[in-house]
Amino acid sequence: MLKLDITKVAPFVSAETIKGYAPRVAEAQKSLEAGTCPGNDFLGWLHLPSSITPEFLDDIQQTADILRSECDAVVVAGIGGSYLGAKAVIEALSNSFQWLVGSNGPAVLFAGNNIGEDYLSELTAYLSDKRFGVINISKSGTTTETALAFRLLKKQCEQQRGKDVARRVIVAITDAKRGAARTCADKEGYKSYIIPDNVGGRFSVLTPVGLLPIAVAGFDIRQLVKGAQDMEANNALAGEYAATRYALYAAGKKIEILANYQPKLHFVAEWWKQLYGESEGKDQKGLFPASVDLTTDLHSMGQWIQEGERTIFETVISVENPEHKLLFPSDEENLDGLNFLAGRRVDEVNKMAELGTQLAHVDGGVPNIRIAIERLDAYHLGQLIYFFELACGLYCQLLGVNAFNQPGVEAYKKNMFALLGKPGYEKETEAIKARLG
């Protein structure tokens, strides 16, 4: 099982202080179970893993197999919670050089998570000679970034592959009844999956939102779900992490930096940042979730972490066993003086870098939490996902915010639509024009 080590928080916040939050964590857990916490319409993720049936996973796998056999590339259109979970798991499980060495299935690409004209132009140009399919993911079914990408991709897919094939290789994952994505899927007869009403975007990786793209990429969704189920059944560490974060926040820490020592975990951190940032950043409260990839960023952000403002703490995700074995080579000339490492595992060097950094950061005034997983596979990622989700739900209650809404996200949309002259936004357009002069 996943391990949590908070001993290197002790110089900053005592173990007793953290334990002192245990009754509040227990209360928070009870109110999640009883559905009495703020945002209780969105608690579908809480027992989602144990509710997933083998038949449901078979259905997802069958759809994935159709896309895998009929496509050279599958584009996942979605933003925020409608893409980050899939991206995180696929990146973590893929060969780091898959673009060069190829994968044993279609390339899984992502779009609809930005409005970059160059990005979309280059994507559509790349797809112009490919047998491609699309997974259109939007809970609301109205998100501009996703809708734009989907319009482009649907048209291109129909033109390149004909309407009949397009109907087979376009899949929609959206609300059961509402939104343009649902209307379109029903009208066109696409295979579609429902995002449950009570599961918010950033908690949806274990619904078809994450499971279908992950299965299309060729990874084991059964093991992913099994890992999450085991963590759901054995979840005490999530409460400890929540209590530790809260104790550090109460002690004046404002930024949590999620650090990894495996480049494949970069997007796990991006997923985590959304989960925590969108859930807790409310009412002028909340830790700012940041991330670094180490040791890479020790040569860029390391100075700041070591000696900058002391309002940070660090949470390290450590992978105990790499998938491959590689030894540090010996060199006759030994110009770099590194022959003392010859014959030792590269991972040993990495682990000593991790430990050395952890000790240095603690000495520099940065509390350190360590989360260790045995290996980077679907099962352990499933554990990690549920661990972070539950800890988020618990922590937000300690903080006193509704973890499951995101009212602040609307502000930019309102201004963007007013600036673009969207019908119905006339008053806002006038106000913004007057403001900009």
**Which x/- pattern, by CB under 6 A, does the window 390-419 give for ligand PA5?**
----------------x-------------
Residue entry with tokens 């549920």: 386
In the residue annotation, 325 being an active-site residue is answered as no
Please select the residue that binds ligand PA5; options are 80, 85, 133, 227, rule is CB under 6 A. 80
Q: How far is the CB of 173 from ligand PA5 (least distance, A)?
A: 9
Q: How far is the CB of 75 from ligand PA5 (least distance, A)?
A: 15
Please tell me which residue in 278, 314, 354, 389 is annotated as part of the active site. 278
Stretch that binds ligand PA5, among 53-61, 139-147, 334-342, 376-384 (CB under 6 A): 139-147
The CA distance from 11 to 142, in Å, is 48
In the residue annotation, 299 being an active-site residue is answered as yes
Please select the residue that binds ligand PA5; options are 49, 201, 213, 289, rule is CB under 6 A. 201
**How many C-beta atoms lie closer than 10 Å to residue 310's C-beta?**
13
Please tell me which residue in 30, 163, 254, 413 is annotated as part of the active site. 413
Number of residues that bind ligand PA5 (CB under 6 A): 14
Stretch that binds ligand PA5, among 3-11, 198-206, 319-327, 341-349 (CB under 6 A): 198-206
In the residue annotation, 413 being an active-site residue is answered as yes
The CA distance from 50 to 120, in Å, is 38
DSSP 8-state class, residue 82: G
Residues 256-295 that bind ligand PA5 (CB under 6 A): 278
Stretch that binds ligand PA5, among 50-58, 73-81, 252-260, 340-348 (CB under 6 A): 73-81
Please tell me which residue in 55, 117, 187, 299 is annotated as part of the active site. 299
85 binds ligand PA5 (CB under 6 A): no
Q: How far is the CB of 228 from ligand PA5 (least distance, A)?
A: 18
Instruction: Note the residue count of the chain.
Output: 437
Q: How far is the CB of 211 from ligand PA5 (least distance, A)?
A: 15
208 binds ligand PA5 (CB under 6 A): no
Kind of pairing between the strands at 3-5 and 368-375:
antiparallel
Which residue type, as a one-letter code, is found at position 265? L
Please select the residue that binds ligand PA5; options are 82, 113, 156, 358, rule is CB under 6 A. 82
Please select the residue that binds ligand PA5; options are 9, 77, 79, 127, rule is CB under 6 A. 79
Stretch that binds ligand PA5, among 196-204, 210-218, 391-399, 411-419 (CB under 6 A): 196-204
200 binds ligand PA5 (CB under 6 A): yes
Q: How far is the CB of 182 from ligand PA5 (least distance, A)?
A: 11
Q: Which is nearer to ligand PA5, 102 or 408 (CB)?
A: 408
Which residue type, as a one-letter code, is found at position 91? E
CA torsion, ordered 54, 55, 60, 63, to nearest 10 deg: 140
By three-state DSSP, how is residue 413 classified?
helix
Please select the residue that binds ligand PA5; options are 29, 113, 146, 262, rule is CB under 6 A. 146
The CA distance from 91 to 267, in Å, is 7
357 binds ligand PA5 (CB under 6 A): no
Tokens standing for residue 411: 């502000």
DSSP 8-state class, residue 41: G
Q: How far is the CB of 201 from ligand PA5 (least distance, A)?
A: 2
Tokens standing for residue 129: 């000679």
H helices then E strands: how many in the chain?
Answer: 18, 10
182 binds ligand PA5 (CB under 6 A): no
Q: How far is the CB of 434 from ligand PA5 (least distance, A)?
A: 29
Q: Which residues contact 335 (CB under 8 A, 6 or more apart)?
A: none
Helical residues (DSSP H) of 251-309, grouped into ranges? 266-280, 302-307
Q: How far is the CB of 370 from ligand PA5 (least distance, A)?
A: 27
Nearest CA to 178 out of 154, 157, 195, 166 is that of: 195
Asked if residue 63 has a cis previous peptide bond (ω within 30° of 0), the answer is: no
Q: Which residues contact 375 (CB under 8 A, 6 or more apart)?
A: 319, 320, 321, 322, 323
Please select the residue that binds ligand PA5; options are 44, 49, 81, 85, rule is CB under 6 A. 81
DSSP 346-404: HHHHHHHHHHHHHHHHHHTT--EEEEEEEESSHHHHHHHHHHHHHHHHHHHHHHTS-TT
Contact set with ligand PA5 (CB under 6 A): 79-82, 138-140, 143, 146, 200-202, 278, 406
Residue numbers annotated as active site:
278, 299, 413
